[in-house]
Each structure stands twice: as structure tokens, then as C-alpha cells.
Amino acid sequence: MPETASPVVEDAPAKINLALHVTGKRPDGYHLLESLVVFTRLGDRLTATPGHDCFEISGPFGHGLRADESNLVIKARDAFPARPSVKLMLEKNLPLASGIGGGSSDASATLRALARLSGFAGDLFGIGAKLGADVPMCLAAKPLIAKGVGEMLAPVSGMPELAMVLVNPGVHVATPDVFRGLATIQNASLAPLPNRLDLPRLVAWLRESRNDLQATAERLAPAITETMAALQHTGPAFARMSGSGATCFGIYESASTAENAARTIRLSQPGWFVAATPTMT
């Protein structure tokens, strides 16, 4: 018997890899990573209502997505133990296959929603890890350092709210292609974070870090280089590609400078996805 019969709504925030170091490879082919990760207020939204099983997708990026077993929402639903029948609605606000964890975040929102509907108190992280390497961190949805293939999570306290702009040029980059194209996989670990994480200290730390996937992703999708140039042109405190791309982010001194930057990029590239959003602390 469900604990509640009313709909539950779960946010599926975008996952941003502020830094991503590739430090090795497991025998199964998955890469070992060390990543500083934050989540944005902007995201998809998942609504789960007790009722007949069905799945509907809406939102600006909903048209590109199949509402079948290939969708991580359905995979998460079907992986949930002793689940109730449920109508799932996904508002897809994030671009697809774009390095900001959209599908993983949708899967984690589905697991959270089903847990709320059914009163499940078991281990969502264990279920999530089987769905994708980024699902556990999306279940946490807080600033963190992820290691292993993404399943070893350490929360980061004191992360300031960041005024961020996300830019995606509309090209899809296949994550396996990027990993396969890496010239080196044994790169240095992340440096320890500073004790106090204000914006200048964070930016200084970020300048000493890398996204080890970026050079390969730019080679596979030159539009990423163009995206980075458009961000750099607006004078961010810092800019980089997230995940395996193609979405890039800029960090700005304030929400208003971020909004201005987003406006500038939108004007010059009306076909791109451009969004100013604060991160969650």
C-alpha cells in the first residue's frame, strides 16, 4: 500500500564536473576518475503519480528522447524492488547526451520518487550504481568529489553558490568515443581542495586542475572549441567543458554578470542552448 496517493515531484539537476581527472582504467574497461562535481538549480523534473504504468515526456528537449526501455527513467523504474504501479512524467529541460548527467539525474530522480511513494528505506545508491556510473552522484546531488568510476563519493562542505552559465552547441558527443580516444589515461590526481572555498580560492584551484576528456572531445566535436571561445569572450572567472561534453560552463562573479554573459552568447548563437543558473551548495 503506497504511503501517499498524491504525486511526488523530484528535481533532476544538471551535474557539472568542475574538474575531471582520468587516473587509470579497470580491467572491465571503465576508467578511474577523480572529479569535483556540483549541481545546478536548473534541471529536469520528474513527477510520479500512483496509477497505471505509463511514461510521458515534455519540455524543450523532450522530442529527442524515446519513452521506452532505452530511457534511463524506465530502466530505473524497472530496477526498483517491489515497485508500485506508477505514472511517470519527465519534463526534459536539459540537452541530451551533453556531459551534464541528464539521463543519470532523471534515473536518480525516478529512484527517489519511487522510494517516497513506496516508503522504501533500502539502498538507492546500490540500485543506482548498476544503472550508470554517474547515477550515484546524481542521487547525492550535492557538491562532492567522486572517485573510482564515480561510485566513491565524498561530500564537499563550504562550496559557495556559483553563478554559472551553461552553453551547449547542439552536437551530441558519445561518451565511449571520448574515453576510447584518450591519449593518456594515467594522469595526476586532483590536488587537495583549499580549506576555505571562496570564489578566488576555488578558481585558483580549478586553474591547476583539468578536464582530461576535453582535448579529445574538442577533436571529435570542434563545436566545443567554438563554445569555449564564446564563453571566454564574455570574461568569466573560469570556463571549462563538463563531463565528456559538449556542454561547457562559465563561472561568473555574480548572477547579473552571468545573466549578461548568457544574453551575449544567445544573441550571437541563437541556435545554441544557453542558460544562466546558480549551483546548489
Binding site for ligand C5P (CB under 6 A): 30-31, 33, 132-134, 149-150, 175-176, 179
* 148 annotated ligand binder: no
Smaller CB distance to ligand C5P: residue 31 or 266?
31
- Assess whether 198 carries a catalytic annotation: no
- 248 phi and psi, to 5 degrees? -115, 155
Do residues 48 and 86 make contact, with C-beta atoms less than 8 angstroms apart? yes
Among 142, 82, 80, 144, which Cα is nearest to 112's? 80
Q: How far is the CB of 35 from ligand C5P (least distance, A)?
A: 9
Kindly state the cell numbers that stand for 142. Answer: 550535492
- Assess whether 123 carries a catalytic annotation: no
Q: What is the DSSP string of 119-153?
A: T--S-HHHHHHHH-TTHHHHHH-SSEEEETTTTEE
What is the chain's length? 281
Active-site choice (15, 75, 92, 147)? 15
Neighbouring C-beta atoms of residue 92, cutoff 10 Å: 23
Q: How far is the CB of 105 from ligand C5P (least distance, A)?
A: 12
* 79 annotated ligand binder: no
* 132 annotated ligand binder: no
* 95 annotated ligand binder: yes
* 140 annotated ligand binder: no
Smaller CB distance to ligand C5P: residue 8 or 133?
133
Active-site choice (44, 134, 147, 212)? 134
* 96 annotated ligand binder: yes
- 98 phi and psi, to 5 degrees? -130, 15
Q: Which residues contact 230 (CB under 8 A, 6 or more apart)?
A: 167, 265, 268, 269, 272
The C-alpha atoms of residue 179 and residue 212 are separated, in whole angstroms, by 10
Q: How far is the CB of 67 from ligand C5P (least distance, A)?
A: 19
* 242 annotated ligand binder: no
Smaller CB distance to ligand C5P: residue 149 or 171?
149
Q: How far is the CB of 30 from ligand C5P (least distance, A)?
A: 4
Provide the CA 80 distance to its chain's centre, in angstroms: 22
Smaller CB distance to ligand C5P: residue 211 or 257?
211
- 175 phi and psi, to 5 degrees? -55, -45
Angle between helices 124-131 and 102-118 (to 10 degrees): 150
Smaller CB distance to ligand C5P: residue 130 or 263?
130
Q: How far is the CB of 236 from ligand C5P (least distance, A)?
A: 27
Q: Across the strands, what pairs with 89?
A: 47, 56
Please report, in range form, the residues annotated as the binding site.
Answer: 95-105
Which residues participate in the annotated binding site for ATP?
Answer: 95-105
Active site residues: 15, 134
